[in-house]
Amino acid sequence: MKRGGNVAIKAGTYRLGNMPTADAPIASMAKMLSAKLVADDRHFADLDIDLLKLR
């Protein structure tokens, strides 16, 4: 499966867990790339995504 397909599937999984629709693909891509996000939303931290605090 292509990378885009994996991102979409993972985003759908996150979305089923009550993550906001706009944040699901961001979380999915960050997780796939092991990237750090600049955010203060708790749902990213709940997914063990590395965060740089916004505030």
Residue-wise DSSP of 1-19? --HHHHHHHHHHHHHHTT-
List beta partners, residue 38: 52
Q: Is residue 1 predicted with pLDDT exceeding 70?
A: no
Domain count, the chain: 1
pLDDT over 70 percentage in the chain: 87
- Give the pTM: 0.75
Predicted confidence (pLDDT) per residue in 18-34, tens digit: 888 889 999 999 988 88
Burial of 29 (0-12, 13-18, 19+ CB in 10 A): middle
Q: Which domain holds residue 35?
A: 3-53
Of 2, 9, 1, whose CA–CA distance to 25 is shortest? 9
